[in-house]
Structure 1
Amino acid sequence: MKILSIKSGFIIFSISFLIFSCAPRLSSSFVKEGYTDKAYSKIAVIGISNDLTPRLAFERTAVSLFKDNGINAVHGIDMFPQNMSKEDQQPANLMKIIKDNNLDGIITMSLIDTNDDHRYQQGNSYSVPAGYYRVGRHIYTRYITVNEPGYYVPTKSYVIEAVLYNLKGKLVEGKETWVWTGESALVNPSSLQSAALTFSREMVGQIIKDEIIIPK
């Protein structure tokens, strides 16, 4: 079931739709060609979810890990509340929020797909006694291998995507601002909140390792 897709050509003025619609490494990541301005003064981390619980899990985990690595990150929910009005979501107001809070970067994290499937589980194999035989004066036990039949178990996977936007300089409507994107598929987490926590750790781990963001 498709939940939400962030296009590579996303512009800053589309943030309203995303926010309000709906040392580990990521499975994949992509850096925009020519991206070199990696030092940020203040980055807002925004979890995109209609459910407040995973959103908070995204933001709190990522912000804490960024701060541990010397990067000034803040919770997006403090500036972009969960239930902003349509008027508050207008580009001019979003741009004002960014300016008033001195943000020069935003990271969004969103669930873009969920899949319910079945995974084949190989049956167990074990040995059981199957009689005895004599060799000279010695008696030995004969064993045979018994293979249990395999079976299918249900699986649920979450595909989560992160996008980094560079908001330095003057914000102009239509200007492309994304500079990095990363994605990961998490199989059978106990909940979406658990998936959010795992993804946040993977995302920050890769960003720090690859120096996608460095302290300013």
Structure 2
Amino acid sequence: MKITRFAAILLFTFLLAGCSSYLTSSENVGKTKKAYEKILVLGRSKDNTTRLKFENQVVEQLKANGVSAIASYTIDGTKNVNREFSESEVQDVKKKLVSAGFDGVIITNLINSEEYTDVIPGNSSTTYIPARYGRFGRYYAYYPVTTWEPDQLKTGIKYVLESSLYNIKGNDGDNLQWVGRFELKDPTSLEKTSANYAKELVGALLKQSVATN
């Protein structure tokens, strides 16, 4: 399904649902854990409010765990990321970031959006009905009568986001260190969901790829 502007605006917003996990898969591509001097956090979204909220939440989570991080919207060269960059422009931005002391970059993108349908199984209930046995007997028993509620169908929009960590210092080849995919349904709350996405993202990074100083 084509990713609409509405989907882009809701890039990092989704409904907090209990204690369920949004991370569906992850891979520590670099195979090791590394301590970073300073990480740039970049969230691609056409809506600036959404982007600022998301980047700030991730930065806050990283700093709370002893990792130096800065939001990309505060850095010249990465303030406007909603356009195509040439290879030379990308290399120029990388050099400037390395010169500014950055050695890691976290980038989050919306990969896909599509309709989904979930089947919610119906409940069953049992009622015990009294019954009399025997023509002349006075003995009463109870027999069960079970009723089933029909299954319910829930439809909505599912978004798939991908967050990637790159080591940009001293490596001109494939510098992808970690990648994780997150699946979220029916986004509604920016405040709650940005904080929880950031918490889960940083938690996975610290567990698999990022070492604290």
- What range is the shorter-chain TM-score in? 0.7 to 0.9
Q: Equivalent residue for 1:177?
A: 175
Q: Equivalent residue for 2:29?
A: 32
Residue in structure 2 matching 1:54, options 50, 75, 80: 50
SS of aligned partner of 1:203? helix
Given the superposition, is the C-alpha separation of residues 47 and 84 from structure 1 closer, same or farther in structure 2, using an over 3 Å criterion? Answer: closer
**2:111 maps to amino acid:** I
**d(CA) in 2 for partners of 1:52, 1:193:** 14
Given the superposition, is the C-alpha separation of residues 164 and 85 from structure 1 closer, same or farther in structure 2, using an over 3 Å criterion? Answer: closer
Give CA-to-partner distance per residue, 1:59-85, whole Å, 9 cap, x none.
Answer: 122111111111101111111224788
Give CA-to-partner distance per residue, 1:83-138, whole Å, 9 cap, x none.
Answer: 78889x93365235414532111100111111211111222212346554358655
Quote the RMSD (CA, aligned, Å).
3.3
**d(CA) in 2 for partners of 1:127, 1:190:** 37
Give CA-to-partner distance per residue, 1:15-40, whole Å, 9 cap, x none.
Answer: xxxxxxxxx6832122335x547121
**d(CA) in 2 for partners of 1:100, 1:71:** 19
**1:40 maps to amino acid:** Y
SS of aligned partner of 2:55? helix
Matches within 5 A, 1:41-80: 41-79=37-75, 80=78
Q: TM-score, normalised by structure 1?
A: 0.72
**1:114 maps to amino acid:** S
CA contact (8 A) 2:38 2:101 kept: yes
Q: Does 1:213 align with 2:204?
A: no
CA contact (8 A) 1:112 1:160 kept: yes
CA contact (8 A) 1:133 1:142 kept: no
**d(CA) in 2 for partners of 1:86, 1:150:** 46
SS of aligned partner of 1:117? strand
Q: TM-score, normalised by structure 2?
A: 0.73
Unaligned runs of 5+ in 2: 4-20
**d(CA) in 1 for partners of 2:112, 2:94:** 29
Unaligned runs of 5+ in 1: 4-23
